[in-house]
Amino acid sequence: MLHTCPEAAIAGYPDIVRRELGITNNGIVICGMAMGYADSGAFINTFQPPRIELDEYALRLD
C-alpha cells in the first residue's frame, strides 16, 4: 500500500519547484506531497498527530 506525507517545506524553494515541475511564475507553490512505501519499523512513522473535526477549520458554502 502506498503512503503519503505532506511536505510544507517545499514552499521555501518555489523557484526550484517551478523550474523542475514546469510551473509558470504566476502559480503559487504552497506544499507538496511525498508518496512511497512507509518504513513501518521506523520510529518517526509511529507519530500520530491529533486531528480536529472538519467543521472546526472549514466552512461549507452551498
Confidence at residue 26, expressed as pLDDT on a 0 to 100 scale: 87
Backbone angles phi, psi at 58, to 5 degrees: -135, 150
Confidence at residue 42, expressed as pLDDT on a 0 to 100 scale: 94
Is 0.85 topped by the overall pTM? no
Confidence at residue 29, expressed as pLDDT on a 0 to 100 scale: 84
User: pLDDT (tens digit, 9 = 90+) per residue, 10-61?
Assistant: 889 989 999 998 988 888 888 899 999 999 899 988 888 899 999 998 888 8
Confidence at residue 45, expressed as pLDDT on a 0 to 100 scale: 87
**Do 32 and 25 form a contact (C-beta atoms < 8 A)?**
no
Confidence at residue 39, expressed as pLDDT on a 0 to 100 scale: 93
